[in-house]
Amino acid sequence: MMIVHLLLLAAGGFIGSLARFAASTKWNGPFPKGTLAVNILGALLIGILAGAGMTGRPYLFAATGFLGAFTTFSTLNLELAEKVLAKQYKSLILYAVCTYAGGLGAAFAGYWLAKGLLGVLN
């Protein structure tokens, strides 16, 4: 791997983690709306990038770096575990379903949106 690849990955990750921190700080509360929002938005955006056929250095910066740091699997699972420990089962189920079904749906929507726009533009 070239140094430029590492720098692109680091720069994207730095910006993505700052954006996630800002969203989580502003919107998280008893129900982790900030984490849910960044995970759904990140899934939509990575679907768009994949659907648009982005590859190489731009993909490394935007998808792997920025979106990899912007979305957060570890925080999601910690928040789910905290809901189990607090016996907040309704909130746990709602959060898990919204995150996983919403994320999958957003990734598909982004992919097909990009494919549709590219088809119209070509």
DSSP annotation of 86: T
The percentage of the chain sitting over the pLDDT mark of 90, rounded to a whole number, equals 84
**pLDDT confidence band for 122 (50 / 70 / 90):** low
| Mean model confidence pLDDT for the chain | 93
- For 30, the enclosing helix (H) or strand (E) is none
3-state SS class at 53: coil
71 has binding-site annotation: yes
Domain count, the chain: 1
81 is in which domain, residue-wise? 3-121
pTM attached to this predicted model: 0.89
Q: What is the pLDDT of residue 111?
A: 95
Q: What are phi and psi of 42, to 5 degrees?
A: -60, -40
Q: What is the mean pLDDT of residues 40-68?
A: 96
Q: Could you give the 3-state DSSP secondary structure of residue 84?
A: helix
